[in-house]
Structure 1
């Protein structure tokens, strides 16, 4: 973009965290674990970002809450682009996986996805030499501003079941990208909440590249909940 190289997944992928902090404390009858840290991404005469991440989990339930605070602490507007890789593999992923993506508008984004029309929710075991499929999902969030995805494998562990719930704040992550690769040795399906589905240069050219104003801060929130049985899965799907 503008003659600059950012590398795979951006420069932040190669930066170390600082101000690392962890704690554990009782909150009523529950015990809360917290770990957090800060990453600075700074380029002289360009941008100055600060990323703060806090991860929280509870003793009482198999849940992980990731809260990211992203701040432009520079004195000029700076581009905001982010994508979260959530890669699902075995044992949740196999030919029995069922995925619930409520209220989404789904668009195939590469030739393989277009060729296998409406196969984004169909899965097989690992096969030889499969090409990847790429899809874009767009949503209207729920009344609290969240999007929820449910992945379940009802036949795992002698039909006891296993699943995962992914719930995230929609406001700053309006797109969900699905990257599906079911090949031997490369067997996964990735669900990626994102601020954009196009690259930075294309966004800039179309004049819809989002900018964070000086000292503007946004928050992204993603909750992961393991659903350890079909009973817990039904509790998430059936009100």
Structure 2
């Protein structure tokens, strides 16, 4: 079976990645790496040898569990197909009441514990699964535990992520959570397009405003181009299910991200067309891109009661061929007309 599908532990042995542990998951033509020392986030992600993910200039970085000081996070954010942001803050760093809250929080740098990796038969399905716990805690402070499971099945082009967050403290705790999915070259090119069932779109700032009408298109890389961020209100079905997709008709490939708006009501788009920083971020979240100060001032900080749990489920699907691309575009049009 390992000729077709496998989960193998690995350790990187050079440079800033030295000592970084991960699991290499191979499901036929689908391949991805789960970074055990980075909150079980997903690094490299490819299909039939075509790279889907963005990797930032700092590259892979090993066990820097507390490399989260303010904007210094930009020296350790690797991108990858997914990094998880939270829990005290998402997006820009801030200081409130004398306490510093780092950019995108601390969970993305926290190594997983109680790790498990397996490949096994479940009836007629051959399953590859990686799971573990990621704890964010402070003396006299919070005690939040994320239990994450990442699963794929032989013959499918699907990766399922199930996260359960539990507040193991004895007081309500803020739970800000953003899933930062990052698409890069070669899937990302001027032939690509972002597909959303968008009902409304707003720019994050004045830098983004002149580019509002072009949010779905992808330009060629341009030297020193600033980043643009857009806030989308997405249509959903009766159960709250919605999606975002990036398609490349030239390659006849794409990637689709499914999630539920009831759990993750916010969706942000990060668009970086800069040469050397060429990326498109798809960002479902339970909090706004404006971060902790915005929610504190509005009295709307999402809180998790003591001993309570919340579950978040996301699905990554590889789109292969014109039919898949047409289907996702038609679905976005149907949803947005509901």
Is residue 2–residue 201 contact of structure 1 (8 Å, CA) maintained in 2? no
Counterpart of 2:236 in structure 1 is 141
Distance in 2 of aligned mates of 1:119 and 1:30: 42
Query: What are the within-5 Å matches in structure 2 for residues 223-238 of structure 1?
Result: 223-238=315-330
**CA-to-partner distance for each residue in 1:41-63, whole Å, 9 max, x for gaps?**
11122211011110010101111
Is residue 181–residue 188 contact of structure 1 (8 Å, CA) maintained in 2? yes
Counterpart of 2:195 in structure 1 is 100
Counterpart of 1:203 in structure 2 is 295
- Of 269, 293, 303, the residue aligned with 1:178 is 269
1:187 aligns with 2:282: no
Distance in 2 of aligned mates of 1:219 and 1:47: 18
Distance in 1 of aligned mates of 2:315 and 2:191: 24
Q: 1:94 Cα shift?
A: 0.9
SS of equivalent residue, structure 1 residue 5? strand
Distance in 1 of aligned mates of 2:186 and 2:277: 14
Is residue 64–residue 224 contact of structure 1 (8 Å, CA) maintained in 2? yes
Q: Which sections of structure 2, spanning at least 5 residues, go unmatched?
A: 1-95, 332-338
TM-score of the two chains, using structure 2 as the length reference: 0.66
Consecutive aligned runs of 4 or more in structure 1 exceeding 6 Å deviation: none
1:218 aligns with 2:310: yes
Distance in 1 of aligned mates of 2:329 and 2:294: 38
- Of 73, 97, 119, the residue aligned with 2:168 is 73
Provide the aligned C-alpha RMSD in A.
1.6
Q: Which sections of structure 1, spanning at least 5 residues, go unmatched?
A: none
Work out which structure has the larger RCO, using CA pairs closer than 8 Å and 6 or more positions apart in sequence.
1
1:164 aligns with 2:255: yes
Counterpart of 2:3 in structure 1 is none
SS of equivalent residue, structure 2 residue 213? coil
SS of equivalent residue, structure 1 residue 83? strand
Distance in 2 of aligned mates of 1:92 and 1:76: 45
- Of 77, 95, 102, the residue aligned with 1:7 is 102
Distance in 1 of aligned mates of 2:136 and 2:173: 12
Aligned length: 235
